[in-house]
Structure 1
Amino acid sequence: MEEREMYNKQIRSTLKEQMEHKIQADKIQIDMKNRATEIVMEQDRKDIEQEKQRQIDRAKLLLHFTVKNKELMESKWEYDNWNRTHQWHVERAVLADTPINWSKTMT
């Protein structure tokens, strides 16, 4: 009987040991998975931040182009207006001095 109890005790202690090893291995595996998940989440966060910064930089660049294009268009409009006005003055002067227009009816 005592032998049987020793045998059962040994089996119980072996099973208990195996269960503890299994629990420890499961904890290690869960910790590794958690760490891997944290790494992936951190990388994802960094990627999202980088993408957001790229979009901000691109928006700034496009806004800069828009402002420069507007300035260029306004400058061209001013030049066109000045050129048109200048051309009118030249044409009036030519018409005023042209011998064909003696009566000055074309001014």
Structure 2
Amino acid sequence: MKLPAISIPSTPVSLPQGTSPVRQSCCLLVTPMTFPIISGSARLWTSNQSIPRLNPLHPPLVHKRTVSLETPAVHHHNHQRTLIMQRREHYRYHQVWRKPFYGTSSEREEYRKELRDQLKRQIEEKCLALKLQLANKGKEAEYICEVDRLALSTEREQRIQHSKAMTAYRDENKRLMEQRWREKALTRSQEALKERELLRHNPINWSGTLK
């Protein structure tokens, strides 16, 4: 079943001066809302006043977000805001190098003073950085000396302990060797006494083993 087409009558709206016609969406003519739009004044881009960015889908004085409220005026406002910010940045950039060449004597002197102040500040920062570097190097040298002293002290203690251990090992070996020598001497003397006792009982030694 085909539904009949619904025609909504459109009412002509008088737009403000300098505003482009409103885009129609879904056969509806939307009335532009009243909100501040950037004027084409040439003095505005030199001011330091911040320009707010508008949301095309949520213009000012509208509490409901809807696509049908999107108007070219908001886009024009954002475009003009972008141009103003670009001009302001361009003016700020070119004002920096304009003073030393085309400025008055006071401006040139102020520019030279600013350069001298920056140079002094850089020299002070460099001297401070050099002092900090030297202080850090001194602390690092002290730390290295302390580490070296501790390493030498530890090595000396290790050498002393090693020397004591080796001395104890030597003394123990000497004692064991002397004890073995005494045991061997005692064994030999006992064997000699035994052989003399055997010779006394049997003086004939045919094999020649007893003396």
The normalised TM-score by structure 1 is 0.83
Name stretches of at least 5 consecutive residues in structure 1 with no aligned partner.
none
Residues 58-97 of structure 1: pairs in structure 2 closer than 5 A: 58-97=162-201
Name stretches of at least 5 consecutive residues in structure 2 with no aligned partner.
1-104
Identity of aligned residues (%): 34
Residue 74 of structure 1: how far off its partner (Å): 1.2
Residue 98 of structure 1: how far off its partner (Å): 2.6
Q: Deviations over 1:40-80 (max 9, x none)?
A: 22112211111111111111111111111111111111111
1:10 equivalent in alignment to 2:110 = no
Q: What is the SS of the residue equivalent to 1:48?
A: helix
1:10 alignment partner AA: E
Q: Which has the higher contact order (CA 8 A, sep 6+)?
A: 2
Residue 5 of structure 1: how far off its partner (Å): 2.1
The normalised TM-score by structure 2 is 0.45
Please say which structure displays the higher CA radius of gyration: 2
Q: What is the SS of the residue equivalent to 1:38?
A: helix
1:57 equivalent in alignment to 2:194 = no
Q: Distance in 2 between matches of 1:91 and 1:14?
A: 113
Residue 13 of structure 1: how far off its partner (Å): 1.1
Q: Which runs of 4+ in 1 moved over 6 A?
A: none
Q: Deviations over 1:3-47 (max 9, x none)?
A: 322222121111101110111111112212222222122112211
Q: Distance in 2 between matches of 1:42 and 1:99?
A: 83
Q: Distance in 2 between matches of 1:99 and 1:35?
A: 93
Residue 85 of structure 1: how far off its partner (Å): 1.0
Q: What is residue 35 of structure 1 aligned with on the other side?
A: 139
Q: What is residue 25 of structure 1 aligned with on the other side?
A: 129
Q: Distance in 1 between matches of 2:137 and 2:175?
A: 57
Q: What is the SS of the residue equivalent to 2:178?
A: helix
Q: What is the SS of the residue equivalent to 2:196?
A: helix
